[in-house]
Amino acid sequence: MSGVPVGREVVVRVPATSANLGPGFDTLGLALSVYDELTVTALEPGRLEIEVEGQGADGVPRDASHLVVTAIRYAFDAVGREVPGLRLRAVNVIPHGRGLGSSGAAVVSGLLAAKGLLAGDVDLDDDTLLRLATEMEGHPDNVAPALFGGLTIAWVDDGRPQHKKLLVHRGVAPLVFVPEFTMSTSVARSLQPLQVPREDAVFNVSRSALLIAALTQSPELLLAATEDKLHQNYRAQAMPDTDRLVRALRAVGFAAVVSGAGPSVLVLADGPGRRLEAVAVAERATDTPWEALMLAVDVKGGTVREYAEGST
């Protein structure tokens, strides 16, 4: 029998993320001010109720295969606790299949919900949350900023994921162009070669190092710092509209990159005022309709805002 009191309620909020940021493939990630919100209530064992509204509401399952439910169960199993019955109410704002970390956000939402449900019994600390999220997601570049906010550097040391959170310079102003079409992460990753030329690897090492400096200290270096030779060119054939927009924006000085696996485009503008100029460039560059989201860097990451106990 579950030790979670029936009626305990947890409210979780998790930001969107953009991974890679150009040269930082599978390593760098940025939390953005678009949020999925999840309310989870503990029910009697065996019950499962799921309500979803917003992004992906028509396509996500309403059974135990729902990714949030899977993540909650994964956390409970990891600490040897029985999962209670669950009522989920998900309000999804992060676009699905657009390279903004929606699956990572779902995993983090479930793990943070488990943390809240288990409060007073088991403490899921930051290291444990990152480990569980990475095991589920496969790599830590999206889940680290979703958990901790800000700019994160993620790596694996002796099989254990690690992260370092950095504060982004206040002059950096994110802008995301979101198309109507989607892109499969697995398809995008399949387009990359298993080996790359040595000079391309060295190129990306230099740009990744420069990008940390640009994002934290010197936004004027962002255009040079976001150059990449490891993944974007290889994926361009599957996302011609995305590639066209990235090239058009970079040609006039904007630090534009593919957001995650795409097809959204992230612009790291060196000041809020320049974002309107980027929108005008996008309107001229392609016939594809793009939704322009003028965002901030989220600095908190995922939060468990409250939990309460009562009866249902």
Tens digit of each residue's pLDDT (9 = 90 or more) over 144-193:
999 999 999 999 999 999 999 999 999 999 999 999 998 776 666 666 67
Tell me what pLDDT residue 189 has. 64
287 pLDDT band, cuts 50/70/90, is confident
Does the pLDDT of residue 90 top 50, yes or no? yes
Percentage of the chain beyond pLDDT 90 is: 82
Residue found under tokens 């979780």: 12
SS3 content of the chain, % helix, strand, coil (to 5): 35, 25, 40
Under a CB-based contact definition with an 8 Å cutoff, are residues 169 and 213 in contact? no
Average pLDDT of the segment spanning 283-312: 85
304 CB contacts (<8 Å, ≥6 apart)? Answer: 10, 11, 12, 112, 113, 115, 116
CA distance 173 to 295: 7
> pLDDT digits over 41-65, tens only?
999 999 999 999 999 888 889 999 9
SS3 183: coil
pLDDT score at 305: 79
Q: What is the mean pLDDT of residues 96-116?
A: 97
Bond prior to 5 in cis (omega within 30° of 0): no
The b/e string for 91-127 (b: 16+ C-beta within 10 A; e otherwise) is bbebbbbbbbbbbbbbbbbbbbbbbbbbeeebebeee
Helix (H, G, I), strand (E, B) or coil at 163: strand
Q: What is the pLDDT of residue 25?
A: 92
Predicted local distance difference test score (pLDDT) of residue 1:
52
pLDDT band for 234, please (50, 70, 90 cuts). confident
Calculate what percentage of the chain has a pLDDT beyond 70. 94
Contact status, residue 14 vs residue 109, Cβ threshold 8 Å: yes
Burial of 266 (0-12, 13-18, 19+ CB in 10 A): buried
Checking if the pLDDT of 312 tops 60, the result is: no
Q: Return the pLDDT at 237.
A: 82
pLDDT band at 206 (very low <50, low <70, confident <90, very high): very high
What is the pLDDT confidence band of residue 196, given thresholds at 50, 70 and 90? confident
| Amino acid 56: pLDDT | 84
Closest CA to 112 of 310, 309, 300: 300
* Average pLDDT estimate for 286-295: 94
Residue 169 in tokens:
């310079």
Is there a contact between 13 and 37 (Cβ–Cβ < 8 Å)? yes
First-to-last C-alpha distance (Å) of the chain = 17
Average model confidence (pLDDT) for the chain? 93
Average pLDDT over residues 266-276: 94
Q: pLDDT band for position 307 (50/70/90)?
A: low
Task: Give every strand in the sheet of 290-294, ordered side by side.
Answer: 256-258, 265-269, 173-179, 290-294
Cβ(214)–Cβ(221) under 8 Å? yes
Cβ partners under 8 Å of residue 2, min gap 6: 42, 45, 81, 82, 83, 84, 85
Helix, strand or coil, per DSSP, at residue 29: strand
Q: What confidence tier does 236 reach under pLDDT thresholds 50, 70, 90?
A: confident
Total count of residues recorded for the chain = 312
In this prediction, residue 233 carries a pLDDT of: 84
